[in-house]
Amino acid sequence: MTLTSLIIVTVETISCKFFVSHQDLAQQISLARMLFMDNKNSLCVMPWVNITDHFSWYTPCPHINQDFEKVEITTYSETINHHHLSDLRKQMLQGHKPDACKNCFLKEESGLKSHRQSYNEEFSDSYNQILSHSNEKISLDEIKIIHLKQSNYCTQACRTCTAENSTTWNNEAVALKRIEAPLNYSSDNFQKLSHCETYIFDGGEPLLHESHLPYLQKIQNPEEKSLIYFTSLSFNYKKLLPFFPIWERFKSVELFVSIDHYKKDTFEYIRYKSSWKEVKKNYLKLKQTPLKIKIQLTLSILNIFDLPEIIDSFTNELNTSEGRISLYPVNSPPYYSITSLPTEKKEIVSKKINRWLKERIKESNFNNEKIKLYSQIKSIINYMNKINSEDSYHEFLEVNGKLDRWRNQILSRHIPFFK
Digit-coded pLDDT (tens) for 33-63: 444 445 457 899 999 999 998 888 888 898 8
3-state DSSP helix/strand/coil % of the chain, to nearest 5: 50, 15, 35
Whether 4 shows a pLDDT value over 50: the answer reads no
10 part of a folded domain: no
What CATH number is attached to the domain comprising 192?
A: 3.20.20
Going by pLDDT thresholds of 50, 70 and 90, the confidence category of residue 20 is very low
Cα angle value 45/48/52 (rounded, 5°): 95
**Residue 40: per-residue pLDDT:** 52
Whether 409 shows a pLDDT value over 90: the answer reads yes
Query: CB of 386 within 8 A of CB of 343?
Result: no
319 part of a folded domain: yes
- SS3 of 272, please? strand
Query: CB of 279 within 8 A of CB of 255?
Result: no
- SS3 of 371, please? helix
- Average pLDDT of the chain, as a whole number: 87
Query: CB of 300 within 8 A of CB of 338?
Result: yes
167 part of a folded domain: yes
The count of domains in the chain is 1
Report the range of poorest mean pLDDT among 15-24, 200-209, 308-317, 371-380: 15-24
- The rounded distance, in Å, linking the Cα atoms of 99 and 1 is 52
Average pLDDT over residues 200-214: 93
Burial class (CB in 10 A: 0-12, 13-18, 19+), 359: exposed
29 part of a folded domain: no
Report which of residues 197 and 74 the model is more confident about.
197
121 part of a folded domain: yes
Measuring CA to CA, which residue among 153, 127, 152 is closest to residue 50? 127
- The rounded distance, in Å, linking the Cα atoms of 278 and 235 is 7
394 part of a folded domain: yes
| Peptide bond preceding 245 in cis form (omega within 30 of 0) | no
Please write down the long-range contacts of 207-213, taking CB distance under 8 Å and 24 or more positions apart: 207/231, 207/235, 207/239, 207/240, 207/243, 208/151, 208/153, 208/154, 208/155, 208/235, 208/239, 209/150, 209/151, 209/153, 211/150, 211/186, 212/150, 213/242, 213/243, 213/246
**Residue 191: per-residue pLDDT:** 80
**Residue 36: per-residue pLDDT:** 44
Burial class (CB in 10 A: 0-12, 13-18, 19+), 6: exposed
59: CB partners within 8 A, 6+ apart: 52, 68, 70, 71
Residue 112: DSSP 8-state = P
Count of positions (residues) in the chain: 419
| pTM, 2 dp | 0.88
**Residue 2: per-residue pLDDT:** 35
Question: Which H or E run contains 20?
Answer: strand 14-21
Report the range of poorest mean pLDDT among 188-192, 256-260, 276-280: 188-192
- SS3 of 108, please? helix
Residue 52 dihedral angles phi and psi, to the nearest 5°: -100, 110
Domain of residue 414 covers 45-344+388-418
Residue 186: DSSP 8-state = B
Query: CB of 97 within 8 A of CB of 65?
Result: no
358 part of a folded domain: no
Query: CB of 384 within 8 A of CB of 304?
Result: yes
- The rounded distance, in Å, linking the Cα atoms of 63 and 165 is 14
Beta bridge partners of 231: 257
179 part of a folded domain: yes
